[in-house]
Amino acid sequence: MASTSKEKLSGKIAPTAVPRAVAAEARTDAVATTNIASVAEATSPAEAQISLTKRALLERVATRTGLRKAQVRPVIEAMLAELGEALVREEVLKLQPLGVMRVVRSIEGEKADVLVCKLRRKNFEKDADAPLAKRAEEG
């Protein structure tokens, strides 16, 4: 359907002229754009980063494992505590598929320790077709 000149000027399309699937996708895009815009308007670089909170991690793990959040919570909290303590002791973490993480620099502060870490992850997409071992003919 053709849109009227008033609709062209405002940049909007009449709702009846757009199929429902396209309208739903546009709403999703609008929400994503709004979220990106709010991140872009953040006052500091730290606020502009997308974060994974403990609550979100808990929900993701519960969904992935099929367990209740109450069952997952003590495991997640214990795991985070152990990882934090290991990093403070500057242990190298070798946790696949996460990767290998090592502390590059550490600064002990009054209110918090600052740890600068390096994480090395394997590119699984590139190696997905690679064989696990060389063939006998290849030597």
Which tokens in the block code for residue 99?
């990767």
The 10s digit of each residue's pLDDT in 72-84 is 999 999 999 999 9
The residue length of the chain stands at 139
d(CA 87, CA 108): 13
The 10s digit of each residue's pLDDT in 60-107 is 999 999 999 999 999 999 999 999 999 999 999 999 989 999 999 999
pLDDT of residue 49: 77
What is the overall mean pLDDT for the chain? 73
The 10s digit of each residue's pLDDT in 31-52 is 444 444 444 455 555 556 789 9
Options 3.40.1000.10, 3.40.50.10880, 4.10.520.10, 3.30.70.100; CATH of 52-120: 4.10.520.10
In Å, what is the CA distance from 115 to each residue of 2, 82, 84, 90, 103?
59, 15, 10, 9, 6
The 10s digit of each residue's pLDDT in 107-137 is 988 998 899 999 999 886 655 555 555 556 6
State the amino acid at position 29 in one-letter form: D
